[in-house]
A and B are shown apart, each in its own frame.
Chain A
Amino acid sequence: MTLKTLTGNYAVATAVKLARVNVISAYPITPQTTIVEKLAEMVESGELKAGMIRVESEHSALAAVYGAASGGARVFTATSSHGLLYMHEMLWWVAGSRIPVVMAVVTRTIGPPWNIWTDHSDVMDQRDTGWLITFAENNQETLDETIKLFRITEDERVFLPGIVTLDAFILSHTTEPVDVPDQSLVDAFLPPRKQPYIFRAGEPIIMGNIPRDLKWNMMMREDIDKAMERAKKVIEETDLLWGRLVGRRYGGLTECYRCEDAKHFIIGVGAWVGDMREAVDYLREKFGLKIGLIKIRYFRPFPKEDMIKWLNNAVSAIVFDRSVSPGAGGPIFIEVLASLASAGVRIPVKGVVAGLAGVDVTPEDVANAVLTSVSEVEELGTFKQSISWFYGGE
């Protein structure tokens, strides 16, 4: 165990090195670039023994690691924003092939106009692909979860690829103290790679030709869904095991902060959860409000059961989305509502769309938004507007 000061991007690179990845391929895009540069440095210095394919596009980056993974290698790639969108077709192909791959996405908004700052639009756009999606709150979690994702994706109960996200600049380029586990610990934690099939010369398997029975094809899609459900348990187990090894537990799919006596709940993902924690403390200290925070760590699979458990007896929930599906609402808001509705839990839920295009949202902003919402729901028993766009700084 060594304490190092690392940016989020360097935390990712360190995790990839510790995971003993065999093949890396990526195309630069701000703000992911320093992940790839650091990995290139490690490969060329001999610190990391891996093949590096310096591709000409993101579509080719995921294609290259997919090819390597199909051949049995443990692989890694990283991207952001438009790069993620460019490789979108390949995300479907990788998940549908059931080949475990780990990818880091430094979440960045999508143009036009050109904008390098954070929001979660890019990764939320991948939510139907069949990839696991986890959001890191800080650089420590970034490092820890990247390593854990190799174990989770390669578990035979899962066999799906996975994305670990970190917010552009807020995490990727900000230095924080990070506890780096020893190589021997990670070696013991990560078993040799497993996958459902490997391409070898002389072993004629054919992947992906047209199916005779379309229902069989539909069953493949259902199988992915089932694997996502099974992943929930694998995620919890892995979190427990990692916690025993390094002394850091994250709670599995979700973490509930100060929830035990909470009546109103804030829900969010990513770096700004840190700001939400501060807001919760502030609202409790200053106003005596019984506020809790549900940090969603894994958005895919969606923690439906946790939502129902925590919100069953809540007075209200306020969901912060850092992306939106225009005409429908923020994805987290929509999926929280769906989870509650499926269990017959009827509480007022507010969707707050904020922080898009990199607009900064401070703990004060969060506290103000929550204060207004809580006052409203305590007075009216409902939210006048179920979805609102929040610019902060008021």
Chain B
Amino acid sequence: MPINIKDLPKEKFVLPGDAACLGCPENMGLRFVGMALGNKAILVVPAGCTSIIQGLAPGSGLKFPILNVPFASSDSVAAGLSSAKKILGEDATVVVWAGDGGTADIGFATLSGAAERNDDVIHICVDNEAYMNTGIQRSSQTPLGAWTTTTWLGKRERKKDLPLIMLMHKIPYVATASVAYPLDFIEKLRKASTIRGFKYIHLHAPCPVGWRFDPAYTVAVAKLAVETGMWILFEAEGGRVSISPPSKPYADKNRRKPIKEYIAMQGRFRNITEELLLELEKQVDDNWSTLLKLAT
């Protein structure tokens, strides 16, 4: 059921004047979470950009109830909170809002554990593809060839495929999303909130500061990621994979925009070698091929 932009609630959950950088995709994503879930959500936030975006206490630039937690603990805390709400007979949608570090690396065990137990939690990984909050160090989500402050010559390893890993946990709902396609994200989030069990949404979030582009282009870069096929929008309910409408055209390799366009927009790829670029293109083909095999 496609959502009409006119029907989106106007209540602000990201308040003007918070501490986010110009053009911040996490700020954007949080607005969409507010539009999707409103006052039903309780956020569990491990260390990351959003910890800082809240601004300085006793004030907060975000209007959700937020439990800030240690880096490696988020999904366990959320599982406990969710369990307590049920036992006490109180309605709430417990959402982990974690970066790629808190999801894929230091937070991986807590994520996998909660998924395996099917704890009733929505985990959103807001993926800016590096440890941005501590100053742009590489994470397992940094793509091949990208500059970071710990990979000055470009990352040598490929991006770890979190969505497929979570698919293999056989949880009730897995999806990818992008800040460039908010209606798609909001629809997926609302759907997830109606399902009992562990739900995982991986939100692609281009970061102007860490990826080295003018902050006006956050949405443009995110859109190009989808249009080049580098980021695939899909969802899987009960393991049934379906490619989401914005990504459908790009199942056809010939309709994908050249990766060079995506690369050219970002300073972090400025020194990428031809060899690594070819490798990246091959990875895009491989990822599509794998996903299409899984899709119904």
Direct A–B contact in the complex, CB atoms closer than 8 angstroms: yes
- Tell whether A68 pairs with B80 under 8 Å between CB atoms, given A60-B110, A199-B67, A206-B54: yes
Task: Flag whether A379 is at the interface (Cβ < 8 A).
Answer: no
Task: Flag whether B137 is at the interface (Cβ < 8 A).
Answer: no
The size of the chain B interface, using a CB distance under 8 A, is: 50
- Tell whether A73 pairs with B83 under 8 Å between CB atoms, given A55-B113, A210-B57: yes
The smallest C-beta distance from B94 to any residue of chain A, in angstroms, reads 8
Decide if B80 touches A201 in the complex (CB within 8 Å). no
Interface flags for A216-235 (1: CB within 8 Å of B; 0: not) read: 10000000000000000000
Task: Flag whether B162 is at the interface (Cβ < 8 A).
Answer: no
Task: Flag whether B7 is at the interface (Cβ < 8 A).
Answer: no
Decide if B68 touches A206 in the complex (CB within 8 Å). yes
Decide if A209 touches B56 in the complex (CB within 8 Å). yes
Task: Flag whether A34 is at the interface (Cβ < 8 A).
Answer: no
Decide if A60 touches B113 in the complex (CB within 8 Å). yes
Whole-angstrom CA separation of A165 from B120 in the bound complex: 32
Whole-angstrom CA separation of A70 from B81 in the bound complex: 7
The size class of the interface chain A forms with chain B is 35 or more
Decide if B80 touches A64 in the complex (CB within 8 Å). yes
Interface flags for B116-134 (1: CB within 8 Å of A; 0: not) read: 1101000000000000000
Chain A residues contacting B67 (CB-CB under 8 Å) are 67, 70, 199, 207-208
Decide if A201 touches B93 in the complex (CB within 8 Å). yes
Residue in A59, A70, A200 whose beta carbon sits within 8 Å of that of B72 in the complex:
A59
The smallest C-beta distance from A118 to any residue of chain B, in angstroms, reads 28
- Tell whether A201 pairs with B83 under 8 Å between CB atoms, given A67-B67, A67-B76: no
Whole-angstrom CA separation of A115 from B153 in the bound complex: 46
Decide if A207 touches B68 in the complex (CB within 8 Å). yes
Question: Which residue of chain B is the closest to A207 with respect to CB atoms?
Answer: B67
Task: Flag whether A66 is at the interface (Cβ < 8 A).
Answer: yes
Task: Flag whether A90 is at the interface (Cβ < 8 A).
Answer: yes
- Tell whether A23 pairs with B113 under 8 Å between CB atoms, given A90-B73, A93-B70, A200-B92: no
Decide if B109 touches A60 in the complex (CB within 8 Å). yes
Task: Flag whether A57 is at the interface (Cβ < 8 A).
Answer: yes
Chain B residues contacting A329 (CB-CB under 8 Å) are none
Chain B residues contacting A67 (CB-CB under 8 Å) are 44, 67, 69, 76-84
Name the residue among B79, B109, B112 with the largest chain A CB count within 10 angstroms: B79
Interface flags for B48-66 (1: CB within 8 Å of A; 0: not) read: 0001101111111011111
Decide if B42 touches A63 in the complex (CB within 8 Å). no
Within A53-109, the residues touching B (CB, 8 Å) are 53-57, 59-61, 63-73, 75, 89-90, 93
Question: Which residue of chain A is the closest to B77 with respect to CB atoms?
Answer: A67
Decide if B54 touches A201 in the complex (CB within 8 Å). no
Decide if B83 touches A208 in the complex (CB within 8 Å). no
Task: Flag whether B90 is at the interface (Cβ < 8 A).
Answer: yes
Task: Flag whether A204 is at the interface (Cβ < 8 A).
Answer: yes
Task: Flag whether B40 is at the interface (Cβ < 8 A).
Answer: yes
Decide if A73 touches B70 in the complex (CB within 8 Å). no
* A interface, CB within 8 angstroms of B: 22-23, 25, 50-51, 53-57, 59-61, 63-73, 75, 89-90, 93, 199-212, 216
| Interface CB pairs A-B, < 8 A, 14 | A56-B113, A60-B76, A64-B77, A65-B80, A67-B76, A71-B81, A71-B88, A72-B90, A73-B83, A199-B42, A200-B65, A201-B39, A201-B65, A210-B51
